Amino acid sequence: MSSGQLADRMQAGLWRENPGLVQLLGLCPLLAVTSTFVNGLGLGIATLAVLTCSNVLVSATRRWILAEIRVPIYVLIIASLVTCTELIFKAWFPALDRSLGIFIPLIVTNCAIVARAEVFASRNGVVSSLFDGLGMGAGFALLLMAVGFVRELVGKGSIFSEFDKLFGGDPLAGLVVVDGGWLLAVLPPGAFFSLALAVALKNYLDGKRDAVHNT
């Protein structure tokens, strides 16, 4: 696998085939936890780690797996990785674990992960699967952070609040831009609006680029 192809995998995950923006997979955690940037960052890192490890493991074992039992094996691998991730979060990032709550164990049901196992890792080598996992995971994580950033800014008027959840210490209010905010943004409808705007922005940028290419 050449470095050009690896870069292509990264680019696919980050932009062209972004799991959240293009494939619209894993929307449940995306919409649910992104009320702040830190929450998005936390779940993003957890998803990135699980996705990358599951891609590598699925790819490494693909020669021994019969087609009939591949799905139960993906489920086993993903569920074990998620359980380990949850335990690690509980041990080292307890505050973040409390704020993400059920959405860490629910990474198991993030269809973006099983989709990458089925579509990519089961048909490609370990190295390219690794890069596919990193690219897709990072693409998903960046989207979570972007949506979290916007919702927090509009809904609470703050930037990067609650960073103590990651590093411990005293509660941090973050950078307060305005006191209070437009509440709707942190409520569930705000999640849908923010995601819709992100998808629209991507399509707009793509359309603009295509227009430049065609003229």
Partner 1 sequence: MISRVAKGGLTLAAIAAICTTLVAATYRLTLERIAANEQSWLEQSLAPALGGVDYEGSITESRLVLEPPHGLPGNDEAIIYRAYSGGAPVAALFAVTARGGYAGPIRILVGVGVDGTVTGVRILEHRETPGLGDGIEASRSDWVRQFDGRSLGDPPAAAWRLRVDGGEFDQLTGASVTPRAVLKAVRETLLYFDAQQQEIFDMPATAETP
User: How far is residue 112's CA from residue 212's CA, in Å, rounded to a whole number?
Assistant: 32
**Nearest partner of 115 among 28, 25, 8, judged by Cα:** 25
- In terms of Cβ atoms closer than 10 Å to its own Cβ (0-12, 13-18, 19+), residue 189 is exposed
Least gap, CB of 212 to partner 1 (angstroms):
43
Only segment of 12-20, 59-67, 121-129, 197-205 that touches partner 1 (CB under 8 A): 59-67
State which of positions 153-172 bind partner 1 (CB under 8 A).
Answer: 171
Among 2, 3, 4, 64, binds partner 1 (CB under 8 A): 64
Q: Which two tokens stand for residue 2?
A: 């050449």
For 55, 58, 132, the CA distances from 135, given in Å and listed in that order, are 11, 16, 5
Q: Which two tokens stand for residue 164?
A: 């103590």
CA 21 to chain centre: 11
Among 1, 90, 201, 205, binds partner 1 (CB under 8 A): 90
Q: Does 61 bind partner 1 (CB under 8 A)?
A: yes
Least gap, CB of 149 to partner 1 (angstroms):
18
Residues 6+ apart with CB under 8 A from 106: 28, 29
* Contact between 185 and 155 (Cβ < 8 Å): yes
Only segment of 82-90, 109-117, 139-147, 197-205 that touches partner 1 (CB under 8 A): 82-90
Least gap, CB of 190 to partner 1 (angstroms):
10
Q: Does 71 bind partner 1 (CB under 8 A)?
A: no
Please tell me whether residue 176 adopts helix, strand or coil conformation.
strand
Least gap, CB of 61 to partner 1 (angstroms):
7
Only segment of 13-21, 134-142, 183-191, 203-211 that touches partner 1 (CB under 8 A): 183-191
**Residue ranges in contact with partner 1 by CB under 8 A:** 61, 64-66, 68-69, 72-73, 76-77, 79-80, 83-84, 87-88, 90-92, 94, 98, 171, 183, 186-187
